[in-house]
Structure 1
Amino acid sequence: MAIAVLGAVAVPAYGQKPELGMLDQLDHGEWVLRERGDGGTTHRLCVDNGRKLIQLRHPGLACNRVVVVDAPNQVTVQYTCRGRGYGRTHIRRETNDLIQIDSQGIVDGLPFSFAAEGRRVGDCR
């Protein structure tokens, strides 16, 4: 009887999607991020992993993350980079090559806040 109960508990966990799986579905390649406001400043970046979009103001840092929302078409992640600041990023997927990003936090003692549309424009150069 105990084995049957353990099996019943394990089955639902086995079928779950990976955490932040929506970001893994984004198309890899060159993306253009066009910020709202500030005259529509654009940034180009090569995205080989959608999870990089979480820490745009803290790139490459090993930060502690807490997943706040993990839904099929949106994620919200709060992160802390010890001694370098923190952030909270919300990413909404419209398609696998079109996203909306809102992020705010502190980087090196200074506040940041931005909203941008991200669009895949081709392969990385």
Structure 2
Amino acid sequence: MSSRLVPLRGLGRATVLSAIAAGAFAATSGVAQGPALAMLDRLEPGLWEVRARDESDTVQLCVDNGRKLIQVRHRGEACRRFVIDDAPNMVTVQYTCPAGGYGHTRVRFENPRLAQLETQGIDNGLPFNFVAEARRLGPCPR
């Protein structure tokens, strides 16, 4: 069986070259993207207070990076995360924990010391659902 080139009828050389260049750009465009969940890296480390909007629940966390705000109800657990949305000012993450809990959290960036959280899921067999404000209070206590 012989191999031969089939001419691309109706397509000019410039069109074919443009298509090849576009394909090459698409294949390498992932290299130009920033790190996943980069918005969370803009939040300052330190002592943060997460206060539910209805003020029924307040938690203080020592945060070394903003990713800790994803799992407020499952702190310290090694949960598997799936990024649903990763925008410059908002991230949405679904996570599942080995102990059976799970959550869905949206973090919206206000400034390096203030973020808005919406989170829901199951913790210790019970559902949770709250909207909260996360605010940096200062440095973590030693």
- TM-score range with shorter-chain normalisation? 0.7 to 0.9
Residue ranges of structure 1 left out of the alignment (5+ in a row): none
Alignment-derived partner of residue 82 in structure 1: 98
> Identity percentage over the alignment?
52
Q: 1:103 offset after TM fit, Å?
A: 0.4
Count how many residue pairs are aligned between Structure 1 and Structure 2. 122
C-alpha separation between the residues in 2 aligned to 1:100 and 1:56? 12
Q: 1:84 offset after TM fit, Å?
A: 2.4
Alignment-derived partner of residue 17 in structure 1: 34
Alignment-derived partner of residue 86 in structure 2: 70
Q: Is 2:62 the counterpart of 1:46?
A: yes
Cα deviations across residues 71-93 of structure 1 (Å, max 9, x unaligned)?
00001101111332110001101
Alignment-derived partner of residue 26 in structure 1: 43
Q: Tell me the amino acid that sits aligned with residue 115 of structure 2.
A: I
Q: Provide the aligned C-alpha RMSD in A.
A: 1.9
Q: 1:101 offset after TM fit, Å?
A: 0.4
Alignment-derived partner of residue 8 in structure 2: none
Alignment-derived partner of residue 102 in structure 1: 118
Alignment-derived partner of residue 10 in structure 2: none
Greater CA deviation, 15-24 or 4-13?
A: 4-13
Secondary structure class of the residue paired with 2:116: strand
Alignment-derived partner of residue 3 in structure 2: none
C-alpha separation between the residues in 2 aligned to 1:46 and 1:98? 14
Secondary structure class of the residue paired with 2:70: helix
Q: 1:41 offset after TM fit, Å?
A: 3.6
Question: Whose strand proportion is higher, 1 or 2?
Answer: 1
Using CA pairs under 8 Å that are at least 6 residues apart, name the structure with larger relative contact order, 1 or 2. 1
C-alpha separation between the residues in 2 aligned to 1:75 and 1:8? 26
Q: What's the TM-score, normalizing by structure 2?
A: 0.77
Residue ranges of structure 2 left out of the alignment (5+ in a row): 1-16
Q: What's the TM-score, normalizing by structure 1?
A: 0.87
C-alpha separation between the residues in 1 aligned to 2:105 and 2:93? 5
